[in-house]
Structure 1
Amino acid sequence: KEPSGAHQFFFWADDEALSLDVGHIVVAFSEEAAVIGVVDEPRRFSDLGSFLDDFFDRHVERAMEPDLATRRPEILVFSVNVLATKHLRDDLDSHRPPLGGPVYFATRDAIDQALDVANFSGVKIPALMHTNGNVERTEDGSTKLNEKGDVVYQRSPIWLDSEYLLGPEAGHANWTGQSGLATKTSHALFLTSAVFQKLQAEGKSVAALMFNVKGADLLWLDKPAIPEPEMLAAYAAADIRQLGEADREVYQALGLEPKPFTSFRIFAPFKPNLAPQPEGNNSRVFLEGKHPGAALNTQRTAPSETAGVVYPILWELKPLLAMPHKVFDHNDLDDKMWGVIYEFRERGVRSLIEMERVYVDIDAYFAADPSEQVWRGHHRLTLQKVRNRLKGLPGKLGGLLTNGEVDYGHLPRADQPFADQELRVIDIASCNSNVQEVLVSSIIQQIWRLAEEERLGVDTVLIFVDELNKYAPGGGESGLRDTLVDIAARGRHLKVVLFGAQQFRSKVDDEILGNCGTSLYGRVGDEELVNAAYRSLSETAKAELLGLPKGRLLVRHAHFRAPLFGAFPLPPTIPGVAGQKVFNQTSVKTDGHPADGLYLTIKRVMGERAPSRHEVRTLCEGHDPRFLDDLCPKLSQEWEKKQGTSAETRVTIWMMAQSQLRQSNLRVIKR
């Protein structure tokens, strides 16, 4: 009924083509070109005029002999959205629709042609694995079977061009789908790992910044999905779904290793009412040398798992004076209040202690002349109002703000330049909404400033923001929304890439979505699919999204003329909840050794050069487990001090540990 065109064509399927289905990639031919497309909508046709005709026809069939050829003929017709057309001559393009004739499943080479891989200007980044309807063959040409005896079908990588994912040609990626069903975070981790490995192989540096907003989701990304031999029992006891043979085959086919992130840091503020305060007459809080441990507002609290990984975030008053619109009610923040805050900023007030010193002078000024109502142009009632609001900030920003100035010493900071292959997680899952908003805003804005000043420390930084609709809502107005829009517009040129995820794509700012070169869709609810944000998808694709299983996504990319379905393996790291069970000692007890925490601390720094677990355990025999737990953060902080110095090349953290253990033995002997 409808003729084939340059961008869509139709074909009927043979009755024996049982493996052909929606999402498969096929090839047809025009006069001098191959036309490659993705199967979209299937329709069955017969010569019956209505369902009533079919009803009477079936009743007639039942009355006939079963061996007569009475089955009503039907035809199955598929529509195909064209992905690419390849002319016999490389210097010519063809947009002619295919001729009537046979249609074939696409080979891997044909699929690469459809993805325009030959014209990629950057590194090939594997995003998904596409399964087609043609069978795999063994070397002798026979049909390949899996361990269950089922036919194995052809699988091909869906590649992304790094210059259109990470810039400078295009950039950014966005995931959308229902919470818990769309595997948005899982695929973001898989894709981040793929980017890290592929860029490292090309000699390019990359780092990532992520915000943990749900439980322990992103707190154990340094733990492998494939357990080490001594952890097999603990993984089994926690009932962790491990990477199966099929997952490992996918990693191998994509040229990836299922390995965790080795350069991994978590930053978290303190728990409410536990933020450290200046001691004695000192107006400063010195964080270096302290071991906050359980005082930090994060679920990763085991001493052996925090050393060298978990670091504090603590603010003084100064940064908050620069963003009063973030911490005060808009109706409360009038011009008079702005004037007082600006006065404190001009006077260089850094802390609540300094603010109180200013108010001591203000109180003395008014005490000297009780009839006076104005100090430096500010009414005394406005001054008192500001004083009350500022004194209430430690309670409002529970655990983030201290009364004094903050000295981090040599400790890493959440907004400092990055190291190659570093994954930095800001844990705000347990923080109140005020703390979440100011942390996300300030850290992203600081990283953006580093990019503008060309001080990122690496070639490319990925910023993963979950619940993007909360921080950059459509039609919203905020400093963070403006920064995210700016990153989406200019980030690909400054090598800052936004990886955003949300449940409702329709609620995200249009400028951000419009600048995303790659979009991925998991299962989406019907109330969301009716929005204009999905108008570029076919009705068949939308219907598929309603019931898309976990681990399967629809991807659109700048090089693709039509979206494609694909699957991805389990992430290379242990899930957050499972990490809590195995490594945070919340429910599953392992047969570990008191020295295992020290071993992990050393291994995190030295990697493959680290001593064996047995060697560390042997050296630690006879030592108090509490001493070994305290030694982990102490060693980590001492090692941080040596970074960038000549001592770094002469001393290893293992040598430092041996020295500490020998000194401990000497102290015991002297007693």
Structure 2
Amino acid sequence: MTDITDIPNDRLGAIDGAAAINTRRFSVVLDDTATVQLDELVVSRQTLPSGVEVAHYGIVTEQTGVIEGAELPSDTRHIALTQTMPGQTSRCAEISVLRTDPELWVAPNPGATVAQARGADREKALFLDQMDGGRLAIGFDQEQQPIYGDFSFMNGVQGGHVSISGISGVAAKTSYALFLLYMILETPQGRALLGPAATQTRALVFNVKGEDLMHLDRAHKNLNDERRAQWAALDVPDPQPFGSVDFFAPPQPGGEQGEQLVSSAQSRPSATIYGWTPERFIREGLLRFCLTDSDDRSTQVGFVEQVVRAELARHAYPLDSEPGAVVICDEPHSTSRTFERIVGSRPPAKSAGAGHVVRDFYDLLDVLDVRLDPDGPHNWSGNTQQGTVMAFLRRIMALAPRLGHLIRMGVQPVEMNKAVTVVDIHGLHDSAQRFVVGALVSGVFEEKQATGREPLRFVMLDELNKYAPRDGHGPLRELFVDIAERGRSLGVLLIGCQQAAGRVAEPVVRQPALKICGRLDATEASEYKFLTAELRERATRFLPGTMVCSQPRIPVPVPLRFPFPPYATNTGDAAMTAAEQAQGVAAFEAL
């Protein structure tokens, strides 16, 4: 009989020979002194008849226990407490096989010793030796040991895109997406993996909930030593807020032309007020993102939009002495009817007397009202039936109070001059949100088609089901499908979040190399086929901060956690700056 002191410290037990064993799963009978948690990594070795030593690496997926000899509930007391009946407690752990090294399709031997996978064994279990594209920490396990992802599946070399799913407010989708961006853009490890293009890599982040993301450059006031230790486990000993961030907010709705613009971001009044001048709106063809509903695009209304978009570009001339404004003239500056050819060159500027001056969205509506008149001299309807033309006009005019304030003079373009560009859209109407997302993301995508894969462009967007729904059509949905299918080769990588992957266009949730799940709704869990049955059930009980990651390099999804953010994620989290503290002291002393 083996003395208990002779058992190695990392030994857990032996493979259960009374249960079925295969190349995918096996059960371990735990030693009396062994303690094991879910998600721990284990290793079992055996020598084949040929003399080859094979190691099976696995992850603990479940634990069970039974008192052998107990047939009735009352037998438990007699065996375990009073010891008046014979019996023995048996504890087992269920193991899913992650890897066999060398790669031989053989099942482990019954009775073989199973131990905790530590050091080199842990690295083998997580395929770290095969991450030739470099590895980046994407979280840590129960023991705060880092979990890594293969960077070649994040930067588009072998794969790209990240899909994050989970219940709103509980799954911490946005928090995890920001953590990934932080690891890529702000840590020495991430910048080293980006290589020479690191300084030019950019991320476009849409703020869709409150003003939560408008303070990423400020320290989190609740970052204590224990939480710093979480970052230290990921080799980030001194976590700081995002160091290179620009913030953009839309103007407040209303106001006459010429009045001073006011930012809608109340907690970030210094944010740049963004929008589109009439000239940019017309030359970039952004009218297509005004009508994004499926019923608009699947009817002749969509055809009218295409005709009007081209005609606006043909008849629009820059307004002399007022950059951004245009003059709609009777005589077109191009004979082409193809939008791309029309905007291929910039026409000469003209004076205000040459035609109808457009300085904002309402001026544009006046132009369309005249130009779409079937009895007028310049009909832009494309010989479409009058009822369809009126339907188009009704839709466009209904957008005036929803997004009209975004198209006007005096606003600034969203330019990605810093590592992270945060664009606030949370207070906008749904139609305006779709317009902003479509206009900015299409701009990024079109720019990358002309510049090559590097430097990379990341796009982070929550509520993806709103912009790329599973059913329907439209330019916005088609844009995200195109990015999902071609984006990685162009260096445009989507970090998309959604409550339910089943509501998002299938390519957008199928193509991402990294699939992340937080807390899932029980009615939706069955949709996530890449999860094991045990993880699908567990995911309905995850606490905030716990995620499960599926990546191509590791065949079984691995649960993980991620550290507390060093940057503020809402107004109340931001630590006071020295200037704010001094201002508060001065105000107190003035009382």
1:549 matches 2:534: no
1:387 Cα deviation (Å)?
6.9
Other structure's SS at 2:519 match: coil
Aligned length, in residue pairs:
507
Map 1:155-194 onto structure 2 (within 5 A).
155-194=144-183
Question: CA, structure 1 residues 590+362, in 2 after alignment: closer, same or farther (shift >3 Å)?
Answer: closer
**1:128 aligned residue:** 139
* Alignment counterpart, residue 333 of structure 1, candidates 289, 294, 301: 301
Question: CA, structure 1 residues 345+162, in 2 after alignment: closer, same or farther (shift >3 Å)?
Answer: same
1:562 Cα deviation (Å)?
0.8
For residue 239 of structure 2, what is the amino acid of its counterpart? P
**1:431 aligned residue:** 428
The answer (yes or no) to whether the contact 1:474–1:508 under 8 Å persists in 2 is: yes
The answer (yes or no) to whether the contact 2:548–2:558 under 8 Å persists in 1 is: yes
For residue 43 of structure 1, what is the amino acid of its counterpart? T
Using the alignment, how far apart are the partners of 1:59 and 1:253 within structure 2?
Answer: 44
Using the alignment, how far apart are the partners of 1:551 and 1:22 within structure 2?
Answer: 16
Other structure's SS at 1:491 match: helix
1:28 matches 2:38: no
The answer (yes or no) to whether the contact 2:304–2:392 under 8 Å persists in 1 is: no
Using the alignment, how far apart are the partners of 1:4 and 1:365 within structure 2?
Answer: 74
1:399 matches 2:394: no
**2:75 aligned residue:** 57
Using the alignment, how far apart are the partners of 2:25 and 2:294 within structure 1?
Answer: 56
* Alignment counterpart, residue 527 of structure 1, candidates 511, 523, 547: 523
CA deviations over 1:564-619 (Å, ceiling 9, x no partner): 11211111201213257957x9xxx8443799xxxxxxxxxxxxxxxxxxxxxxxx
1:4 Cα deviation (Å)?
1.8
The answer (yes or no) to whether the contact 2:548–2:560 under 8 Å persists in 1 is: yes
The answer (yes or no) to whether the contact 2:56–2:99 under 8 Å persists in 1 is: yes
**1:357 aligned residue:** 356
Question: CA, structure 1 residues 477+361, in 2 after alignment: closer, same or farther (shift >3 Å)?
Answer: closer
TM-score, length-scaled by structure 1:
0.68
1:336 Cα deviation (Å)?
5.9
**1:297 aligned residue:** 264
With 242-251 and 338-347 compared, the bigger mean Cα shift is at 338-347
* Alignment counterpart, residue 218 of structure 1, candidates 213, 216, 235: 213
Using the alignment, how far apart are the partners of 2:250 and 2:480 within structure 1?
Answer: 23
Question: CA, structure 1 residues 48+249, in 2 after alignment: closer, same or farther (shift >3 Å)?
Answer: same
Other structure's SS at 1:438 match: helix
Using the alignment, how far apart are the partners of 1:513 and 1:365 within structure 2?
Answer: 41
Other structure's SS at 1:447 match: helix
Other structure's SS at 1:169 match: coil
**1:86 aligned residue:** 101
1:510 Cα deviation (Å)?
1.9
Other structure's SS at 1:11 match: strand
1:500 Cα deviation (Å)?
0.8
1:94 Cα deviation (Å)?
2.6
For residue 106 of structure 2, what is the amino acid of its counterpart? R
Using the alignment, how far apart are the partners of 1:187 and 1:472 within structure 2?
Answer: 21
Using the alignment, how far apart are the partners of 1:10 and 1:328 within structure 2?
Answer: 51
CA deviations over 1:25-61 (Å, ceiling 9, x no partner): 1111121022111011223344468xxx313535766
Question: CA, structure 1 residues 539+574, in 2 after alignment: closer, same or farther (shift >3 Å)?
Answer: same
Using the alignment, how far apart are the partners of 2:367 and 2:233 within structure 1?
Answer: 70
Using the alignment, how far apart are the partners of 2:176 and 2:367 within structure 1?
Answer: 56
Other structure's SS at 1:155 match: coil
Other structure's SS at 1:200 match: helix
1:212 Cα deviation (Å)?
0.5
Using the alignment, how far apart are the partners of 1:159 and 1:501 within structure 2?
Answer: 21
Using the alignment, how far apart are the partners of 2:20 and 2:424 within structure 1?
Answer: 56
The answer (yes or no) to whether the contact 2:248–2:273 under 8 Å persists in 1 is: yes
* Alignment counterpart, residue 313 of structure 1, candidates 257, 275, 289: 275
* Alignment counterpart, residue 481 of structure 1, candidates 477, 482, 487: 477
For residue 503 of structure 2, what is the amino acid of its counterpart? K
Using the alignment, how far apart are the partners of 1:364 and 1:270 within structure 2?
Answer: 29
Map 1:467-616 onto structure 2 (within 5 A).
467-530=463-526, 533-579=527-573, 590-592=581-583
Other structure's SS at 2:405 match: coil
The answer (yes or no) to whether the contact 1:108–1:156 under 8 Å persists in 2 is: no
Map 1:277-292 onto structure 2 (within 5 A).
277-278=257-258, 292=261
1:37 matches 2:37: no
The answer (yes or no) to whether the contact 1:128–1:157 under 8 Å persists in 2 is: yes
The answer (yes or no) to whether the contact 2:219–2:574 under 8 Å persists in 1 is: no
For residue 419 of structure 2, what is the amino acid of its counterpart? E
Question: CA, structure 1 residues 348+9, in 2 after alignment: closer, same or farther (shift >3 Å)?
Answer: same
For residue 447 of structure 1, what is the amino acid of its counterpart? V
Other structure's SS at 1:247 match: helix
For residue 45 of structure 2, what is the amino acid of its counterpart? F
Question: CA, structure 1 residues 561+388, in 2 after alignment: closer, same or farther (shift >3 Å)?
Answer: closer
**2:316 aligned residue:** 348
Structure 1's unaligned 5+ residue stretches are: 88-92, 132-153, 226-234, 236-241, 280-289, 367-371, 596-671
The answer (yes or no) to whether the contact 1:393–1:401 under 8 Å persists in 2 is: no
CA deviations over 1:204-239 (Å, ceiling 9, x no partner): 4122111100001211001122xxxxxxxxx4xxxx
**1:373 aligned residue:** 375
For residue 357 of structure 1, what is the amino acid of its counterpart? H
Using the alignment, how far apart are the partners of 2:131 and 2:547 within structure 1?
Answer: 22
Using the alignment, how far apart are the partners of 1:437 and 1:594 within structure 2?
Answer: 44
The answer (yes or no) to whether the contact 2:290–2:431 under 8 Å persists in 1 is: no
1:297 Cα deviation (Å)?
2.0
Other structure's SS at 2:72 match: helix
1:332 Cα deviation (Å)?
8.3
Question: CA, structure 1 residues 471+365, in 2 after alignment: closer, same or farther (shift >3 Å)?
Answer: closer
For residue 263 of structure 2, what is the amino acid of its counterpart? L
- Higher helix fraction: Structure 1 or Structure 2? 1
1:391 Cα deviation (Å)?
5.8
- Identity across the alignment (%): 24
**2:27 aligned residue:** 10
CA deviations over 1:143-181 (Å, ceiling 9, x no partner): xxxxxxxxxxx4321011111112110111111111111
1:193 Cα deviation (Å)?
0.8
1:452 matches 2:449: yes
**1:228 aligned residue:** none
Using the alignment, how far apart are the partners of 1:541 and 1:534 within structure 2?
Answer: 10
Using the alignment, how far apart are the partners of 1:248 and 1:326 within structure 2?
Answer: 44
Map 1:616-655 onto structure 2 (within 5 A).
none
Structure 2's unaligned 5+ residue stretches are: 1-17, 48-52, 319-324, 330-354, 358-365, 587-591
With 387-396 and 556-565 compared, the bigger mean Cα shift is at 387-396
Question: CA, structure 1 residues 336+561, in 2 after alignment: closer, same or farther (shift >3 Å)?
Answer: closer
For residue 276 of structure 2, what is the amino acid of its counterpart? L
Using the alignment, how far apart are the partners of 1:490 and 1:334 within structure 2?
Answer: 25
1:515 Cα deviation (Å)?
1.1
Question: CA, structure 1 residues 365+312, in 2 after alignment: closer, same or farther (shift >3 Å)?
Answer: closer
Question: CA, structure 1 residues 363+500, in 2 after alignment: closer, same or farther (shift >3 Å)?
Answer: closer
For residue 425 of structure 2, what is the amino acid of its counterpart? I
**1:668 aligned residue:** none
The answer (yes or no) to whether the contact 2:275–2:407 under 8 Å persists in 1 is: no
1:545 Cα deviation (Å)?
1.0
1:253 Cα deviation (Å)?
2.5
Question: CA, structure 1 residues 40+449, in 2 after alignment: closer, same or farther (shift >3 Å)?
Answer: same
CA deviations over 1:358-417 (Å, ceiling 9, x no partner): 979997999xxxxx9353456897888877765664323142122xxx466xx6x32x4x
Using the alignment, how far apart are the partners of 2:315 and 2:301 within structure 1?
Answer: 20
1:481 Cα deviation (Å)?
1.7
Using the alignment, how far apart are the partners of 2:302 and 2:67 within structure 1?
Answer: 73
The answer (yes or no) to whether the contact 1:111–1:156 under 8 Å persists in 2 is: no
Question: CA, structure 1 residues 314+590, in 2 after alignment: closer, same or farther (shift >3 Å)?
Answer: farther
For residue 130 of structure 1, what is the amino acid of its counterpart? D
